[in-house]
Chains A and B, each alone.
Chain A
Amino acid sequence: MTRPLQVTIRINGSDYTREVEPRLLLSDFIRHEAGLTGTHVGCEHGVCGACTIRLDGAPVRSCLVFAVQAQGHDVRTVESLGEPGSLSVLQQAFRDAHGLQCGYCTPGILMTVSAFLEENADPSEEAVRHALSGNLCRCTGYQGIVDAVLLAARRMRGA
């Protein structure tokens, strides 16, 4: 065990300052230090994508980053996207297209897709599937997710 370090991370616009061990994962910091439990942990070895967050805008697996590495950086999690009573366009599309079942992988998928759609306003189904290929879902067979992303893109374009 190494001496705790003080770290300040901005998450969804608020600064969280904590004393943490250097080995503390960013995913654990977000969930258990900041108390933002919308970010889920599925494998802790960087494969499943459930813990995906946006780090300075880029989709990143928070289980592969130490909290101390995020010092001074900007983190956004699923809690930043919308509220239950006012879902974002992306979240609403997931509801309308049945893009989730158990909902465990969903926050990570939303964070991956939110970044993807910023750079791909009118993606093909193939491109959407590639974008999703780093996020595992065990419930849906992906069809509802793919449809949700295409629907969100269409709505965002105003088409």
Chain B
Amino acid sequence: METRQIGRPVTRNEDPRLLTGRALFVDDVELPGLLHAAFLRSPHARARILSIDTAAAKARAGVVAVITAEDLGDYWQPGPLLVPPPPIKGMTFRQRCQVPLAKGEVRHVGEPVVMVVAESRYVAEDAVGDIEVEYEALPPVIALEAALSPESPRVHADLPDNIAAEVRQTKGDYAAARAKAAHIIRRRFTYDRGASNPMETRGIVADWDHKAEKLTVWDTTQAPVFIRNGLAAMLGLSERQVRVVAPFIGGGFGPKMMMFYPEEVLVPWIALRLDRPVKWIEDRLEHFCATTQERSQIHEAELALDGAGKILGVRDAFLMDTGAYNPYGLTVPLNSQCTLLNCYDVPAYDSTFRAIYTNRTLVTPYRGAGRQHGIFVMERLLDAAARELGLDRAEIRRRNLIPASAFPYHNEVIYQDFAPLTYDSGNYAPILDKALDAIGHAGFAAEKAAARAEGRHLGLGIVCYVEGTGIGPYEGARVRVQASGKVTMATGVGTQGQGHFTAFAQVVAEQLGVDVRDVEVTTGDTDVFDWGAGTFASRGAVVTGSAAHGAAVEVRAKILRTAAEHFECAEADLVVEGGAVSLAGVPEKRITLGALAGLANPMRGAVKPGTVPGLEATSYFGPQMGATAAGAHAMVIEVDPRTMQIRVLRYVVVHDCGTVLNPLILAGQVQGGVAQGIGNAFFEQLAWTEDGQLLNASLADYLLPTALDVPRMDVLHTETPSPLNPLGTKGAGEGGAIPVGALYAQAIEDALDLPARGIEIAEIPLSPSRLWEICNPSA
């Protein structure tokens, strides 16, 4: 390797297009004769559909089609189960997947009932208003614990109750651990829903070219290859006949990984039927009820410790709201169950969860994907334990960290990737120390006292977390040197702002000795590359990055082989740098990669048997299991005890995701994750009524953090490479968001000295008004 590209803070290749408004997003696709779809959605959380009258809508000028479930015929099918449940003994799993248009019964507010297609979006929405649907409202299932009552209505009448899944996983013998414990800490925790709210809502454009017999679909999906394969199967087309393009996507965060949304099933179908291109762009109100959400869980947890504060075991039982349908299987609750163990040596664990159907929007992974719940429970239990034992918060954590000598560390429970959860590598104590040092932990008691003397309430928070990242199944990459000397790299994953056009280019450039700007990356176009799974679980850099590395290594070998033949020399004598190959010490013996690519594409006469043309290679990477990243967040806040407004004075992140590919991009991922974590902890709460109506479905009412709310952060790193991939890297996409709820709870308790008043914070999200209620229980 002549030039190090990995680890450099390279500015991004994709930025010039994005900064000048030239990048293509789905809603930018304009086609001749384009029609527009709009959806009539259920206003009820649960109701029987008695009748649908579409006559007035059909009669409106400019309306081309009005489609109900009946009109779909055999095309009406429940969506596929995306992630089947892993093989866990004794589990219950009852699959009910979303349907394209509601038939007979609606199961959540926002469920699509009728699709209208018209000459303009304005007319399509007018026509939605023309449709008359007669509903018989039914009592909905909203609250989790009430959903378990035998008297509760059922979300799916054909199931015996509202339980979608029940899973118990254990490690060691918790009962024995409990029996010898010096301290038992028992608490109840709740963690409520949030919405991802990427700035670009979902959208889809479908275009059937009847001459080429080819369907092109532009989709805001995180998984274009799956969508292509699924649409081909559903529509009875060959995979060659369907091209799915995930162009620039305006933020994903997980919910754009969900498949198939009803609109994804319906828009391509109607475009084929009408033989005209059709566009649908979700509006923000629809986003609040029709795009998947995440998070309601209620935990009853117990921590057993010895007299020195060493964890003997944990028991946890939790309920999880999975919404009206469950296409994503057990991914979110399994993440919660597994991640609860955090970075600590826990000899005994007994955890049971029940996923519950409710008449609310579907739950699928959203940044953190349930991991933050597990971390919240464990970190809160440790805070309570520290108080009971009279230990410093940092000290009780330090005593329980998995020692560096214990890796790989086996947790013995099955993770979302179906593999027993094993931490591949880690060195946790330096992370904690670095965070404590950077936040000023040693001097904080004096700082707090001095501030209190002035009537100011300062609090410090310090929490640890792990993040299971970089899971399978696999991704691929194809790398080719063009005759121009520029290099192309293609992969099947989509990109939603993670800097793939740059990070993957760095991985390739490192091997091929070219400028990062000369590597042109294509992501998310199934006509260019159509194997792979998608962008989720913080896996792009790990899995696709490793595939890109593998392909680039192969191309480099071809370069050396071809150049050695050309110069009639040994490969070891060659130097690959500056976009050319030269003979070491003989600079005039030099050939550009472009010219070499020409030699590797032999014309007549000179082709040897077995020749594979081109400086090109395709490589796939499928990790045996996920790579576990870790970190600690620390902050100092000031709370105004009258208004309960919080000001973050300092915020420190120490993150270990193994080898860093691009520190600029990594810092951005971490900072953005923290911002979403802050939203989740203190700004964002979906307010539902008892009858399942969402009261704050606008950005004016559901508060996303602004530039005034997110503090400046110091992002520091330690690097413990992963042994599971050739780059030694681990994922970093979600870590920033995971520990923030636990951090806020702890720092607020500290600032207001709540435990001394017998008050603990056991819920997320908080807000100034909720915090006031918690602090004034008798008011």
Contacts and interface: CB of A to CB of B under 8 A. Distances in A.
B573 to A, nearest CB: 39
A44 B199 CA distance: 11
Nearest to B715: A143
Contacts of A50: 199
B200 A102 contact: yes
A138 B19 contact: no
A156 B759 CA distance: 52
A134 B249 CA distance: 22
18 contacts: A23-B122, A31-B27, A36-B21, A37-B27, A38-B20, A47-B698, A81-B19, A95-B11, A98-B668, A101-B251, A101-B497, A103-B18, A106-B19, A107-B21, A125-B712, A138-B199, A141-B672, A142-B706
Given A95-B16, A101-B498, A37 B676 contact: no
> Which of B30, B499, B706 has the most CB atoms of chain A within a 10 A radius of its CB?
B706
A29 interface: no
B15 interface: yes
B: interface residue count bin: 35 or more
B708 interface: yes
A142 B648 CA distance: 15
A40 B250 contact: yes
Interface string A107-124: 100100000000000000
Interface string B247-285: 011110100000000000000000000000000000110
B434 interface: no
A133 B378 CA distance: 35
B6 interface: no
B210 interface: no
Contacts of A142: 671, 675, 706-707, 710
Given A40-B199, A96-B11, A130-B708, A138 B676 contact: yes
A78 B20 contact: yes
Contacts of A79: 20-21
Given A43-B698, A47-B700, A133-B708, A103 B23 contact: yes
Given A37-B28, A100-B15, A143 B671 contact: yes
Contact of A104 (B250, B498, B707): B250
Q: What 9 A-B pairs come out closest when comparing CB atoms?
A: A38-B21, A104-B250, A102-B497, A103-B18, A141-B675, A101-B497, A141-B671, A84-B16, A37-B28
Contact of B19 (A31, A100, A136): A100
B284 A39 contact: no
B412 interface: no
Interface string B280-294: 000110000000000
A145 B712 CA distance: 11
Interface string A63-106: 00000000000000111011111010001001110101111111
A42 B20 contact: no
Contacts, number: 188
B14 interface: yes
A39 B198 CA distance: 16
Contact of A101 (B16, B22, B283, B668): B668
Given A40-B250, A91-B19, A141-B672, A103 B497 contact: yes
B707 A95 contact: no
B296 to A, nearest CB: 21
B20 A81 contact: yes
Interface of B: 11-12, 14-25, 27-28, 30, 122-123, 126, 196-201, 248-251, 253, 283-284, 496-499, 664-665, 667-669, 671-676, 698-700, 704, 706-708, 710, 712-713, 736
A37 to B, nearest CB: 4
Nearest to A134: B706
Nearest to B495: A102
Given A104-B248, A129-B707, A143-B712, 11 more contacts: A43-B699, A45-B284, A84-B17, A100-B15, A102-B248, A102-B249, A102-B496, A103-B15, A106-B19, A130-B707, A135-B707
A132 B707 CA distance: 6
B118 to A, nearest CB: 12
Interface of A, secondary structure class, is loop
A102 B199 contact: yes
Contacts of B198: 102, 104, 138
A139 interface: yes
A48 interface: yes
A110 B19 contact: yes
Given A94-B15, A95-B16, A100-B15, A39 B21 contact: yes
A136 B699 contact: yes
A71 B699 CA distance: 29
A87 B126 CA distance: 42
B250 A103 contact: yes
A87 B28 contact: no
Contacts of B499: 101
Nearest to A96: B11
Given A102-B249, A102-B496, A136-B704, A1 B20 contact: no
Nearest to A84: B16
B672 A84 contact: no
A35 interface: yes
Given A43-B698, A103-B250, A104-B250, A141 B713 contact: yes
A15 interface: no
Contacts of B284: 42-45, 48
A139 B497 contact: yes
A: interface residue count bin: 35 or more
A98 B11 contact: yes
B752 to A, nearest CB: 26
A11 interface: no
B251 A138 contact: yes
B698 A104 contact: no
Given A42-B199, A137-B199, A141-B672, A106 B18 contact: yes
A41 to B, nearest CB: 7
B699 A104 contact: no
A14 B707 CA distance: 34
A138 B707 contact: no
A138 B249 contact: no
A100 B19 CA distance: 8
Given A83-B20, A95-B15, A100-B15, A35 B251 contact: no
Contacts of B665: 98
Given A78-B21, A82-B20, A102-B248, A21 B122 contact: yes
Interface string A9-21: 0000000000001
B699 A87 contact: no
A94 B675 contact: no
Contacts of B25: 37, 40, 104
Contacts of B14: 103
Given A43-B699, A98-B668, A140-B672, A133 B706 contact: yes
B667 A102 contact: no
Nearest to A41: B27
Nearest to B249: A102
A1 B130 CA distance: 13
Nearest to A149: B707
A151 interface: no
A5 interface: no
Nearest to A126: B708
> Which of B200, B664, B676 has the most CB atoms of chain A within a 10 A radius of its CB?
B200
B16 A139 contact: no
A37 B699 contact: no
A44 B196 CA distance: 17
Contacts of B27: 31, 37, 40-41
A157 interface: no
Nearest to A145: B707
Given A43-B284, A98-B664, A82 B251 contact: no
B700 A98 contact: no
A141 B45 CA distance: 34
Contacts of B669: 101
Contacts of A132: 706-707
A138 B704 contact: yes
> Which of B18, B28, B283, B712 has the most CB atoms of chain A within a 10 A radius of its CB?
B18
